[in-house]
């Protein structure tokens, strides 16, 4: 149990375009979802925390107008990188928890490359 | 603030060798402690956890003991396999913050046949 999926697993987009990443909890209701960013050979950095039906809480230094997070249902959260630039290229990982799932379970990650 | 420090990698071992990856933390009170594993190109998987002092978490032959006196949560395995090659992250969650995880920098383990 406690499976979290992400889609797509890899995406390449051109500079200036927007890209949406989906995070789904497959077998539980995720009242809280988290978005992390991971640079090569580095640890995870929490970008934002979202609770279902409310606005996301962003960590210091994360531009909320650039990284739009929507958590409209108990099984789906989306991260939209707007007007992407090459420096946004990274590995984005989501996690989810909720209900009887007391710990964060992580998705497989999405590798974004902006050319 | 809270922090987690891990030994820097990479750690390179031969198959069946003994593994220790050190992890120490700084936090107030009694945080919960975790080890996550990340295989190449994948997200993180919870490996084991401990929620109070002297607890031992164990899974898949890995184990770690919550040592309050030394603020440590070292990961050990008696005999590693090539399939254990991955990056291992130590993390803590403060008792008074239900969601927030603070991660260490990660330690890459490479096991050679």
Q: What is the pLDDT of residues B11-70, one digit of tens each?
A: 999 999 999 999 999 998 889 999 999 998 788 899 999 999 999 999 999 999 999 999
Give the mean model confidence (pLDDT) for residues A28-54: 89
Mean pLDDT over residues A64-87, rounded? Answer: 94
Look at residue A1 in the predicted model and tell me its pLDDT. 66
Cβ A23 vs Cβ A16: under 8 Å: no
Q: For chains A and B, what is the number of CB pairs under 8 angstroms? A: 44
CA-to-CA distance for B86 and B107, rounded, in angstroms?
8
Nearest to B26 by CA among B105, B107, B106, B104: B104
pLDDT at position A9, please? Answer: 94
Q: CB-based contact (8 Å) between B1 and chain A?
A: no
> Which of A40, A43, A47 to probe by mutation at the B interface, max B CB count within 10 Å?
A43
Contact call for B89 and A43, based on CB within 8 A: yes
Check whether B97 has a pLDDT greater than 80. Answer: no
Q: Which residue bears the tokens 């989906």?
A: A22
| Nearest Cα to Cα of residue A16 among A110, A78, A83 | A83
Task: Answer for the pair A101, A40: CB distance below 8 angstroms, yes or no.
Answer: no
Euclidean distance between CA atoms A31 and A100, whole angstroms: 11
Q: Which residues of B3-27 are buried (b: 16+ CB within 10 A; e: fewer)?
A: ebebbebebebeeeeebebebbbeb
User: Is the per-residue pLDDT at A43 higher than 90?
Assistant: no
Question: Does the beta-carbon distance from A43 to B103 stay under 8 Å?
Answer: yes
Q: Average pLDDT in the B86-104 region?
A: 85
């Amino acid at each position: 149990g406690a499976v979290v999926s992400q889609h797509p697993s890899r995406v390449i987009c051109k500079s200036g375009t927007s890209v949406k990443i989906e995070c789904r909890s497959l077998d539980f209701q995720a009242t809280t979802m988290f978005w992390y960013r991971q640079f090569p050979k580095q640890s995870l950095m929490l970008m934002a925390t979202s609770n279902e039906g409310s606005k996301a809480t962003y960590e210091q230094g994360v531009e909320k107008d650039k990284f739009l997070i929507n958590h409209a249902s108990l099984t789906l959260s989306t991260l939209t990188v707007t007007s992407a630039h090459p420096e946004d290229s990274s590995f984005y990982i989501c996690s989810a928890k909720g209900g009887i799932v007391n710990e964060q379970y992580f998705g497989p990650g999405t590798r974004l490359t902006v050319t | 603030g809270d922090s987690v420090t891990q030994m820097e990698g990479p750690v390179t071992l031969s198959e069946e060798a003994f593994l220790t990856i050190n992890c120490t933390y700084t936090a107030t009170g009694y945080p919960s402690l975790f080890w996550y594993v990340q295989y190449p190109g994948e997200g993180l998987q919870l490996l084991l956890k401990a929620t109070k002092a002297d607890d031992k978490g164990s899974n898949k032959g890995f184990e770690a003991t919550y040592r309050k006196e030394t603020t440590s949560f070292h990961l050990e395995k008696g005999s590693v396999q090539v399939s254990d090659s991955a990056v291992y992250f130590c993390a803590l969650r403060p008792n008074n913050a239900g969601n927030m995880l603070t991660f260490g920098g990660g330690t890459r383990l490479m096991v050679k046949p």
